[in-house]
Structure 1
Amino acid sequence: MKMLQESTLYIEKNTDILEVDINALVKCASHVIVPLGPLDTFAARNPWVGLEGQSFEQTARRLKDTCEVDMYPNHSMFQSAIDHGEIRQDFIEKGIQEWLNSQAFELPRERAEQFCRAAILQDDQYPSDIENLELKSVAKKLTNFTNYIIKSLSIKTYSQSLEQLGKANAAQVLNSHMIKWCKLFLDKSQAVWLMPHREEGFYHAWRKLVQHDSSLSRKVRTQLSELPIDAEGALKKVLIELGVSNSDIQEYLEAHFLALPGWAGMMLWRSQQSEEEASLLLDYLAVRVSMEWAFVKPYLPLPENRNEKVNLEPLIAAWTEWGNMPIDGWLKLSSAEIKKHLILAYRFDKIVRNRILLEAWEKTYEEHLKKMITSQQNNIVIPDVKPALAQFVFCIDVRSEPFRRKLEKAGDFETHGTAGFFGLPIETCELGSNHTHNSLPVMFNPQYKVKEIAKESKPFEQRNQVVSSLGNTFKTMKHNLFSSLVLPEISGPWLSLQTLARSFMPRSTGRTISKMLNTWVQKPSTELSLDKQQLSDSELPIGFSNNEKVHFVRQALKMMGLTNQFAPLVVICGHGSHSTNNPYNSALDCGACGGKSSGFNARVLAALCNLPNVRESLASEGIIIPKDTVFVAAEHITTLNELQWLYVPELSDKAKESFKQVQDVLPMVSEEVNAERIPQLPNLKSHLKNAKGEAQRLSEDWSEVRPEWGLARNAAFIIGGRHLTQDCNLDGRVFLNNYNWKKDKDGAILANIIAGPAIVTQWINLQYYASTVAPHYYGSGNKTTQTITAGHGVMQGNASDLLSGLPFQSVMKSDEEAYHEPLRLLVVIQAPTSYVKRVLEQNHVFHQKVKNGWIRLASIDTEGSWVSWY
């Protein structure tokens, strides 16, 4: 009776929720998750982009409290880095001293330092072996000192709190039900029977169907059937019933989003794609919180635990083991001394220790990079003003660095780095494809459409349709009740033969199948729709006006630092990957093109640069492209470390000579890059006799979990002249963007690089970081146990969150050893200090990232001095 009265009183206090703008709160709460698009357009996402208003450490504490997620590397990663000399002891010591200086401890400095040094490399939060009667007795006598240490916890959901209290596994049950309903609603025609009433929206469909869910008790189904018809009304009702106060609603909804950030992220992505589904997040929360209310209702009201007092036993044990202080020594201390010792042990917790270790690791890498670059500066030879034989423009992707380095040594070639979409905000449509693709960074929207066209395309399209129809027919038969019974007999011989061939001869089988398809399809020579066609106000214009063509070429040439001294041949290199049976193949393509190859963009830019009217307009502005200079397009296949030509127009005599020399050296360059990169993969010999053959096998073997390492071990982004790093072996860890501050008086080019490529590289960096430190929350776990679900993404098994990051095999060498070093991105800008200050003042988002520790910043000034900005 007393519990009923308390519950009634609690609900009466919270009826003002009815006046709350719940839509605004849902929108604000969604900043803890990021949109998660389908797997076939997988693009790097910073999982913490909405949390950068707080420091990295503050966010780490919040996630640890709310959902038990660690944002820092674990002990074994730190220990391995120390053992390999990647974390210098002097940087660890410096971190300890700086932390102690920031605290107001009155303990003797030597004593505090001794404790911190002993604790810094400990694996546990506090000593785990604390089953000691004497310790418990002392802790009991010091109970009053808990008043000096109050533990502030983040809000958990009621189902999580119930599990923490040991009363029911409500959170686990709730998650399993939400996964089931999300899979049904989001299915992309993969299921044989689609979810009824789906067109009415998630909440409405769920409300009609949940009444017939036999996995729920009759009582729960009855409660859920009585919910309001609309999602907003239902969410407000259950929040009142649960007794969530107005001030806690947003944080409470955030906790629900963080419980399944993958499925919630997919709902967020869908809500951004069309007006019809704009309220999908509200529907998601209405379903989730309503089910939680039904599950936890018998246990309400739950006890408050926001200001939980600290257990003193671990703090006392910490001083015993790490501070050389006997347990009975506590009773000999004064009250002031007891307080000082307890506060130090409490504050110097695992998160502080990990922060110091991570910063020491990052500073060690920065010092290594600094020495490499500054020693290179001392040996710089002023280059001859004569233009190179050929100039190559690569994406800033870290995989381009080894290829550029080997190519430059192979001949009189010059390379430049720029964002792989080449500044073209386009939607692409390839010949024979029924789909378009946004070929630009995911934070931007396309402004133009470019189509691949051919004069005689109908025969090709018909043959291509036959190939597509075969796949669709197989899928339809598989899902049909009767045809599925005879499908094994029909397809068995062919599939068995293919299985054996792909298993025992993957390289030759892959080449043979590709050759057969290409021979059958016979794709004709194509052109691009570069001239503007305005279809309607609701559609993107196809192609560009003359002014727009000039604008994009001018912008691209300035961004890549190529405005004079043009070589006879300029190669615009997009990049893509090639692998078989790989759900994550788009993760290996160009991050600046939304998870697709950037070869199409390279072809568009090269074609625009060859237009006579564009060159005439640029010449009037001082950008003079010689008549015998020809732009061509190629694609850097990162799995094979090869260049494949996409667009080679008629060449001038000088360009032909350059092209021939390029073709002569490319096989050697490819062989050298493969010899350097392929042995870095696990279980391969350091000196392969046939690195090229191994690369081909990796790309065609459908059992291969690591066709390449992708962007693993990325650590820095250098914005400056190529002369800074030209003779440095950066080990494929650095994004390289050409930049000459002398040609950027107003800082506009640098501002664009920071607003675009710098953000994309940070997203890539933090996705690899998160997938390494929390592989089963922000990554996607083990490839061998993944299930592709609903046509959208992957789960572990058949009932997990929709996993948003990279698989275990993309960042780990083995179960025990990480390959990717989880370091936050170091951005290095070669420019005067005033340029860097201007960027920080004008770009508040970037300034916040630096200030709060989400990105690290250094610069090289006009005197060649290295300046750290954090």
Structure 2
Amino acid sequence: MSETSVLTKENVKKKDTTINLPKSDMTDLIKSASRVIAPLWPIAAFAARNPWMGLEKQSFDEAADWLKNTRDVDIYPSASMILSAKNKGEIDEAFLKMGLQRWLASHSFNIPRDAAERFCHAALKLESLPSDLLSSQQLEKLVDEFSGLNTENIENSFMQPISSYIENQDGERLVNILDHHVIKWCKLYLDDSQAGWTMPNREKGFYRAWQRLIQYDPALSKKQRQSFKDWPQDAHTALKEALSALKIPQSEIQTYLEGHLLSLPGWAGMMLWRSQQSSREHALLTEYLAVRISMEWALVKPYLPLTNQRSEQNVSIPPLLAAWIHWGELTIEEWSQMSASEQNEYLSFAHSFDEKLFRKLWLEAWEQTHADQLSEKLTSKQRETKGEKTALAQLAFCIDVRSEPFRRQLEKEGPFETIGIAGFFGLPIATSELGSNHSHPSLPVILKPQHKIKESADENELNLYQQRKQTVHSVSNTFKKMKQNVLASLLLPEVSGPWLSLQMAARSFVPRSAERFLRNLRESWLRKPNTTLSLHHDSHTEAEVPVGFSDEEKVNYARQALKTMGLTKNFAPLIVICGHGSQSSNNPYAAALECGACGGAAGGFNARVLAALCNLPEVREKLSSEGIEIPEDTVFAAAEHKTTVDELQWVYVPELSEAAQEAFDRMEAVMPKVSHHANAERLAQLPNFEKELKNPHAEAQRFAEDWSEVRPEWGLARNAAFIIGQRELTQDCDLEGRAFLHNYDWKQDESGNLLANIIAGPGTVTQWINLQYYASTVAPHYYGSGNKATQTVTAGLGVMQGNASDLLAGLPWQSVMQSDHEAYHSPLRLLIVIQAPSEFVERLLNNDSALREKVQNGWVRLASVDPEGRWENW
């Protein structure tokens, strides 16, 4: 309903464009501007990211309007998604009508209420205006006779780069040419794994390396290259000089920088992430902007001076009038008989009740319907709180939504109790696997490792293992070097062709057998020995991150985990700490199917560490003195829940007591049935599958091992709620794999600290996951990553579409879409449900300003269930 004017060379009032900002002030402006993007982790360490994490001081609706005005990005669900959800029964139109009445009551307008309601109800059917009406001569005549709508024009000011308004002689916008250049330089600088040759002078930083090479760039004209001959060698100075040359007013620098960051939010997000990882690259985002805006100046220089660098959004009258004729059932005669002021009131109302508002009201009705349905499930029947628990085994799973169906199936098969907890189990560790000199963080990316845990083995076995591992690496490195060498690459097809052809044929036609053969071949060759963990603090090793735990730390982490799980009494003979991981072949997004919080790290290692800590006699003795009495015959074990195939793989089973062995044997006996039902439930959700599968387990294995399969599993798609409460609240409820489940007993949390920690940690992570999926669904062209089949892995960092796109930050189409036209993920903002008295939730909101801000501004929704089972929306 709006038209944006193009850049023109009209005389306007001149502004002072001399930039005299100190370096510190420019740094502050860049930091403030970076709020519009989010850090982007490398794809191998994929972590769910909230693309709007810097905008949460604004309301969701304000951010939606701003993104629509600046980038033409719409973050409300499309009309087709809404109508599909309505047809599936996911939206109760009674909530839509209530939302409309609230909106009408909160706005004043000078038109009859019945006319306004008739217009709104018709508009909310989401039907397009007839094209013949919009193009009719009669409508055109009425518009010509109209004097003009009295509404404020929105000045975009410097929201967009100047280059976005200028076209070259071939009709191509200069901003597209600028993006192409910037992508090339970013790939050159950031690539530290794929390229055979690194960027010259890379060690001196992005800007200095670019500044040395740009004068020889054949993609620029001779005149453009010469313009950089005397360009400043310091990034801050160059940025100021470029902004001055482009005549950007000092008061609007931040807005202008935001426009440039939003042009390529993926590459800019990667620069932001790198700047946060190393003190050596702390100014990398400044260097990125210096390179980008310097290049913009070189491209637009022939078109300068441009005296008007503003655009205005002007209201388009024809759609507004057509809307009243079609939706408001207003006749031509009725319109003609109105006074100019009445006509203005009608069109102003239609301008306010626009398409964004239609879909906003539908989204809120969709979310309210989901909350109402969840409330019905959780409060429909009175659940008696169990006294003495008689579970044969207790299993702690990650809160990941994929755990919920598996836990439900497991509880049906025997006296097993399941528990939900964040899947790093409160252990802030980096893991160093056997034979590796490197470690990787094994905790949420919002935290930093405080300990390093190493795997070790008998020295003789370790030496043999390292030799075999080195052989594998040598073959791989030789192959890579031969591919990158001019002469050796000519010989490579002759040497490797037969083996690779055989491998390709086998993995294409018999993927399960081929993958199993290759995996067994690798495992039998490596023969990894039994290992132990460096749990005890090594005071002889000086390192930035200490190895192992002190005696006090062992007790603290064990106590913290047990209290967080609510497991401080009534221990079962066998307690299994279950991490989770995924399994897929030929998948750039494999890490996205691991833990959504931990940068692609699986949880089995952490599970093993916690189980081993809880088995230490000295830890149990100390916990016993504090009132946490773990029976002598209770044994902790560790496993990993493979989400693609819904299996439990044991990673640590110590010597078991008689009672623990009985529990272990019972679990092993029922596990095939649990996997069968969990696989059948999950596979039925995948496209083109029949509800009844003869062998769900075999089909799940094929999905995990077939290198042509673009959708091995749905991951965390359709996530919608985070439920914090006792298992009794959700037990026997089919939550359809849509809820994160975290155990919490308010009666053991008088201070509220435990709840506050759950909200600050897992609560933040679940919101990030939720909004990552939301953004990738509603705006896949901007926040998603397109079709997996056409993605190009670049620089070892991420994916592009083609060879020169933005570094794509979101989820692929296959992770959120059922088909070309049907979304699988329901784009709903996360609903946090807390089982606790109202005063607990009220105290939480009073003490946690970040959560209060998110709730008030519409980034998350909040509800509670009190001890009597009453539901309350906050």
Decide which of 121, 124, 134 is 1:120's aligned counterpart.
Answer: 124
Offset from partner CA, 1:412-434 (integer Å, 9 cap, x none): 11000000000011111111334
* Alpha-carbon distance in 1 for matches of 2:414, 2:525: 39
Structure 1 residues 296 and 831: alpha-carbon distance in aligned structure 2, compared to 1, 3 A threshold: same
Cα shift at 1:536: 6.8
Alpha-carbon offset, residue 328 of structure 1 = 5.2
The letter for the 2-side match of 1:332 is: Q
Q: CA deviation at 1:435?
A: 2.9
1:743 aligns with 2:748: yes
Matched, 1:606 2:611: yes
Aligned partner of 2:27 in structure 1 is 23
Q: Which residue of 2 aligns with 1:385?
A: 388
Name the residue aligned to 1:427. Answer: 430
1:224 maps onto 2:228 in alignment: yes
How far apart, in 1, do the equivalents of 2:768 and 2:714 lie?
A: 17
Structure-2 residue corresponding to 1:590: 595
* Partner of residue 69 from structure 1, selected from 64, 67, 73: 73
Is contact 1:126–1:314 with CA below 8 Å preserved after alignment? no
Retained in 1: the 8 A contact 2:385–2:728?
no
- 3-state SS of 1:224 partner: coil
Counterpart in the other structure of 2:290: 286
Equivalent position to 1:624, from 599, 612, 629: 629
Q: Is residue 366 of structure 2 the alignment partner of residue 341 of structure 1?
A: no
Name the CA shift for 1:139/1:249 in 2 (closer, same or farther; >3 Å).
Answer: same
Deviation at 1:126, TM superposition (A): 10
Q: 1:648 aligns with which of 648, 653, 658?
A: 653
C-alpha contact 1:17 1:240 (8 A) present in aligned 2: no
Is 1:127–1:318's contact at 8 Å kept on the other side of the alignment?
A: no
Q: 1:63 to 1:125 in 2, by over 3 A?
A: farther
1:57 touches 1:351 (CA, 8 Å); kept in 2? no
Is contact 1:534-1:540 (8 Å) kept?
Answer: no
Partner deviation per Cα, 1:808-835 (whole Å, 9 max, x = no partner): 0011111111111111111000001111
Letter in 1 for 2:353: F
**Structure 1 segment 320-339 matched on structure 2, within 5 A:** 320-327=325-332, 329-339=334-344
Amino acid at match of 2:789: T
Contact persistence 1:860–1:867 (CA under 8 A): yes
Q: In the alignment, which residue of structure 2 is the partner of 1:786?
A: 791
Q: 1:546-585 CA distances to partner (integer Å, 9 max, x unpaired)?
A: 1111111111011111110000000000000111111111
**Distance apart, 1:497 and its partner CA:** 0.6
1:858: how far off? 0.5
User: 2:17–2:248: 8 Å Cα contact kept in structure 1?
Assistant: no
- Output the TM-score relative to the length of structure 2: 0.96
Give the match's secondary structure for 1:777: helix
- Which ranges of structure 1 fall in alignment gaps of 5 or more residues? none
Aligned AA for 2:370? Y
Deviation of 1:125 (Å): 9.2
Q: 2:685 aligns with which of 673, 680, 704?
A: 680
Counterpart position of 2:564: 559
Q: 1:35 to 1:269 in 2, by over 3 A?
A: same
Aligned to 2:511: 506
Deviation at 1:213, TM superposition (A): 1.6
Give RMSD over aligned pairs.
Answer: 2.1
Structure 1 residue aligned with 2:4:
none
Change (3 A) 1:264 1:124: farther
1:494 to 465, 477, 499: 499
* Alpha-carbon displacement from aligned partner over 1:19-55 (angstroms, at most 9, x marks no partner): 8821111111111111111111001111111111111
Of residues 82, 89, 99 in structure 1, which corresponds to 2:103?
A: 99
In structure 2, C-alpha distance between the alignment counterparts of 1:518 and 1:790, rounded to whole Å: 29
Displacement after TM superposition at 1:482 (Å): 0.7
Structure 1 residues 536, 5: CA separation in 2 closer, same or farther (over 3 Å shift)? farther
**Distance in 2, Cα, partners of 1:715 & 1:164:** 47
Q: Aligned residue for 1:210?
A: 214
* Superposed counterparts of 1:106-505, under 5 Å: 106-122=110-126, 130-145=134-149, 147-153=150-156, 155-162=159-166, 169-299=173-303, 300-327=305-332, 329-376=334-381, 378=382, 380-383=383-386, 385-456=388-459, 457-505=462-510
SS of residue in 2 equivalent to 1:373: helix
Greater mean alpha carbon deviation, residues 720-729 or residues 585-594: 585-594
State the secondary structure of the residue aligned to 2:780.
coil
Quote the residue 1:49 is aligned against. Answer: 53
Does the 8 Å CA contact 2:584/2:704 hold for their aligned counterparts? yes
Counterpart CA distance in 2 for 1:843 and 1:483 is 61
Amino acid at match of 2:719: N
Which residue, 713, 730, 754 being the options, matches 2:718? 713
CA distance in 2, matches of 1:308, 1:640: 52
Amino acid at match of 1:405: R
Cα distance in 2, alignment partners of residues 166 and 846 from structure 1: 51
- Tell me if the contact between 1:6 and 1:301 (Cα under 8 Å) persists in the aligned partners: no
Displacement, 1:381?
3.8
User: In the alignment, residue 460 of structure 1 is paired with which amino acid?
Assistant: Y
> Residue 693 of structure 1 aligns with which residue?
698
Kindly state the Cα deviation for residue 509 of structure 1 after the two structures are TM-superposed.
Answer: 1.1
- After superposition, what is the alpha-carbon deviation per residue over 1:373-411, rounded to whole angstroms, capped at 9, x for unaligned? 1113x2x24435143100000000011001110111100
1:80 corresponds to 2:84:
yes
Cα separation, partners in 2 of 1:833 and 1:234, compared to 1, 3 Å: same
Q: Secondary structure of 1:422's partner?
A: coil
Contact 1:793 1:803 in 2 (8 A): yes
Amino acid at match of 2:476: G
1:596 CA displacement = 1.1
1:803 equivalent to 2:808? Answer yes
Partners of 2:833 and 2:862 within 8 A in 1: yes
Shift of 1:842: 1.1
Give CA deviations for 1:94-119 in whole Å, capped at 9, x if unaligned: 11111111111122111111111111
Equivalent residue letter for 1:767: Q
1:153 Cα shift?
3.4
Write the distance in 2 (CA, Å) between the matches of 1:232 and 1:674: 56
**SS of residue paired to 1:191:** coil
Q: Quick check: 2:465–2:527 contact (8 Å CA) kept in 1?
A: yes
Distance apart, 1:226 and its partner CA: 3.2
In the alignment, residue 403 of structure 2 is paired with which amino acid? S
Amino acid at match of 1:644: Q
1:755 to 755, 760, 781: 760
Task: Kindly indicate whether the alpha-carbon contact (under 8 Å) linking 1:633 and 1:648 is maintained by their aligned counterparts in 2.
Answer: yes
Contact 1:91–1:360 (CA under 8 A) maintained in structure 2: yes
Is this contact kept in 2: 1:151–1:310, CA < 8 A?
no
Distance 1:848 1:803, change over 3 A: same
Offset at residue 298 of structure 1 (A) = 3.0
Runs of at least 5 residues in structure 2 that lack an aligned partner in the other structure = 1-7
Residues 526 and 160 (structure 1 numbering): CA distance in 2 closer, same or farther, change over 3 Å?
A: same
The one of 812, 835, 840 aligned to 1:835: 840
Q: Report SS of the residue matched to 1:239.
A: helix
Partners of 1:390 and 1:774 lie apart in 2 by: 44
Deviation at 1:132, TM superposition (A): 3.2
Cα gap change, 1:782 to 1:125, in 2 (>3 Å): farther
SS in 2 for 1:143: coil
CA–CA separation in structure 2 for the residues paired with 1:252 and 1:5 = 21
Instruction: Pick which of 681-690 and 397-406 moved more.
Output: 681-690
User: Aligned in 2, Cα 1:787/1:125: closer, same or farther, shift over 3 Å?
Assistant: farther
1:616-635 C-alpha deviation (Å, 9 max, x unpaired): 11111111101110000000
